[in-house]
A = this chain, B = another copy of it.
Amino acid sequence: MKAVKVGLLGLGTVGGGTATVLKRNAKEIARRAGRGIEIDFIATLEPERAAELGVENIRLTKDAYEVVNDPDIDIVVELIGGYSPAKELVMQALENGKHVVTANKALIAIHGDEIFAKAQEKGLVVAFEPAVAGGIPIIKALREGLSANSVEWLAGIINGTGNFILTEMRDKGRDFDDVLAEAQALGYAEADPTFDVEGIDAAHKLSILSSIAFGIPLQFDKTYTEGISKITQEDVAYAEELGYRIKHLGVAKRTDKGIEQRVHPTLIPERRLIANVDGVMNAVLVKGDAVGATLYYGAGAGDEATASAVIADIVDVTRALTTDPENRVPHLAFQPDALSDTPVVGMDDIETAYYLRMSAKNEAGVLAEVTRVLGQQGISIEAFIQKEPRKGETDVDIILLTHVVNEGNMNSALEQIAALDVINGEATRIRVESLS
């Protein structure tokens, strides 16, 4: 059978990894796919990089549209990132009748519905396994492997930089700023780390996972997003003392009110497998009504790990070339005319347990006042730590774990607690998920 011709847009980290792995494993991949897969044309602003990578006999251009418009190309692989010109290039590739593979989570999270509609109209596939959790085949697992299930919830560590920072804070007792600086030096975190540490990158990925899990349109704008930059060394240590680990989780959950879709620091019981996913590694825990809990773990970033997902998608698309379009796996797992309008619920309506840390005056009756306020909102306490004042200080730390409660009630309680004379400033609040 004729080899499939791939056009690569971008020869950065993932593009370089894709070229390297496709070359090294060419025979093995062809033994699986039943035909050769060849990179035929690469768009890159640094053509000298092709030589560095040992990429030979492949046409190069600085104009990505040349690749997208080339009649010989069967599949366009978009590895440029960002919204523009990535979106225009993908739309043009589809217009030209080419299948697309992309690693671009931001593009899919924001413009996915429009891109998939165009692909649908043209009878084409847009594959995006590398957009979520790097090399872990989580899109495939959720979309195909668990197709029998009504998904109850999923929870993922889907940003390696954030997980590296939290792991170092716990293992070595280091501070957030200190570890972030190291992550930047190591190349894990960007110069502007906002996307990673403030949870925007994770929210892009979570909105994709949520859509696939529950059969709803992509709704990044309704995803609650809270970063890890306010997590202190004390919180990490207190969590440990209570038998928990703090992880930056993306959580999507089906409830009676709709779909909860939220990214935030989360306490997880230390015995859960996902609580032990450390360093830059990613993992996604999926609870299906039939299968129960399943977990998928691996490298969430990196040149060859992400390339693994890019190439798996190229092989999938290669197989799809001869499939009746109506019988292909739908982009968002559910048929486009069968997506549901179940709403994404606002944060006031979610329910979860909470870790609270507050600084209080070292006086009798403080705890009574705090518990009275919580009790008025129907919030009961599961565990409690009160520390002696540190040397030379008169204030004490009070740490509470609550039972599951409505977040609106918790917000009211926190406002009232902040207004108490015996409490200094506002309480730190971190959500707690049992994941059972």
Decide: A312 and B31 in contact? CB cutoff 8 A. no
Decide: A135 and B25 in contact? CB cutoff 8 A. no
Complex interface: chain B residues within 8 A of A329 (CB): 319
Closest beta carbon of chain B to A281's beta carbon, Å = 9
Complex interface: chain B residues within 8 A of A191 (CB): none
Partner of A296, one of B294, B311, B326, B328: B294
Which residue of B has the minimal Cβ distance to A332?
B32
- Give the interface centre of A29, A31, A322, A334 by most chain B CB atoms within 10 Å: A31
Decide: A304 and B328 in contact? CB cutoff 8 A. no
Q: Decide if A55 is an interface residue (CB 8 Å cutoff).
A: no
Partner of A32, one of B17, B31, B147, B296: B147
What 0/1 pattern do residues 299 to 327 of A give for CB contact below 8 A with B? 10010110111111001101111111011
Copy number in the complex reads: 2
Decide: A333 and B32 in contact? CB cutoff 8 A. yes
Which residue of B has the minimal Cβ distance to A37?
B148
What 0/1 pattern do residues 204 to 238 of A give for CB contact below 8 A with B? 00000000000100000000000000000000000
Q: A150-B25, A273-B277, A297-B297 are in contact. Are A292 and B321 (CB under 8 A)?
A: no
Decide: B290 and A21 in contact? CB cutoff 8 A. yes
Q: A144-B312, A150-B25 are in contact. Are A292 and B135 (CB under 8 A)?
A: yes
Partner of A147, one of B33, B144, B335: B33
Which residue of B has the minimal Cβ distance to A288?
B308
Complex interface: chain B residues within 8 A of A334 (CB): 31-32
Complex interface: chain B residues within 8 A of A1 (CB): 326
Decide: B21 and A148 in contact? CB cutoff 8 A. yes
Q: Tell me the bound Cα distance from A17 to B292 in angstroms.
A: 13
Complex interface: chain B residues within 8 A of A33 (CB): 147
Complex interface: chain B residues within 8 A of A381 (CB): none
Complex interface: chain B residues within 8 A of A311 (CB): 147-148, 290
Q: Decide if A193 is an interface residue (CB 8 Å cutoff).
A: no
Decide: B136 and A294 in contact? CB cutoff 8 A. yes
Which residue of B has the minimal Cβ distance to A133?
B294
Q: Decide if A183 is an interface residue (CB 8 Å cutoff).
A: no
Q: Decide if A298 is an interface residue (CB 8 Å cutoff).
A: yes
Complex interface: chain B residues within 8 A of A327 (CB): 34, 318-323
Decide: A140 and B135 in contact? CB cutoff 8 A. no
Partner of A17, one of B31, B140, B290: B290
Partner of A149, one of B25, B30, B321, B323: B25
Decide: A312 and B277 in contact? CB cutoff 8 A. no
- Give the interface centre of A145, A288, A320 by most chain B CB atoms within 10 Å: A145
What 0/1 pattern do residues 122 to 166 of A give for CB contact below 8 A with B? 000000010000011100110111111110000000000000000
Q: Decide if A81 is an interface residue (CB 8 Å cutoff).
A: no
Decide: B148 and A25 in contact? CB cutoff 8 A. yes
Which residue of B has the minimal Cβ distance to A22?
B148
Decide: A140 and B144 in contact? CB cutoff 8 A. yes
Q: Tell me the bound Cα distance from A296 to B145 in angstroms.
A: 12
Q: Decide if A115 is an interface residue (CB 8 Å cutoff).
A: no
Decide: B318 and A25 in contact? CB cutoff 8 A. no
Q: Tell me the bound Cα distance from A360 to B32 in angstroms.
A: 53
Partner of A140, one of B25, B145, B309, B322: B145
Q: Decide if A185 is an interface residue (CB 8 Å cutoff).
A: no
Closest beta carbon of chain B to A95's beta carbon, Å = 25
- Give the interface centre of A137, A150, A299 by most chain B CB atoms within 10 Å: A137
Decide: B28 and A307 in contact? CB cutoff 8 A. no
Decide: B29 and A315 in contact? CB cutoff 8 A. no
Partner of A148, one of B136, B288, B307: B307
Known: A24-B150, A34-B326, A291-B298. 6 other contacts (CB 8 A): A32-B330, A32-B334, A141-B141, A292-B302, A295-B297, A319-B323
Q: Can you list 14 contacts pairing A with B, beta carbon distance less than 8 Å?
A: A25-B148, A31-B215, A136-B294, A140-B141, A141-B141, A148-B307, A276-B276, A283-B295, A290-B307, A294-B298, A295-B295, A296-B297, A297-B297, A320-B327
